[in-house]
Structure 1
Amino acid sequence: MELLLDVREERVNFLLELLQQFDFVSIKSKTDKSPYNPAFVEQILESESSMQAGKRTKIALDDIWK
């Protein structure tokens, strides 16, 4: 069984120390780097935030194939 926890950064060490007290808990460090280029990720996140702010371009269906 795998358990994924989303913990505030300032509480991570406390939680790890607490969990290590149990003999049935095994903690594996998962430090996988993203396979994506950081510049590309930044562009996508920026685009998403601008879309949520209402800054987007609408294209009519008739204009798509011109």
Structure 2
Amino acid sequence: MDLVLKNVKKKDFPVLKSLAKSLGFEIVEEEKPYNPEFVKEILEAEQSIKDGKGIKMTLDELRELCK
């Protein structure tokens, strides 16, 4: 059986890890990185805004787009 703990505070993690180890549980830590293509797209978009390629919109113009 697998058990997933979410929203564990950093200060509580060593205690939980120690408890699991003392009970003989296997501890597997997984990092799920962002999709590299997604990261590239976001970084390119930020750079284009810094380069002045973005557009400015009023809140009313944005609302009109979202209709």
TM-score, scaled relative to structure 1: 0.50
TM-score, scaled relative to structure 2: 0.49
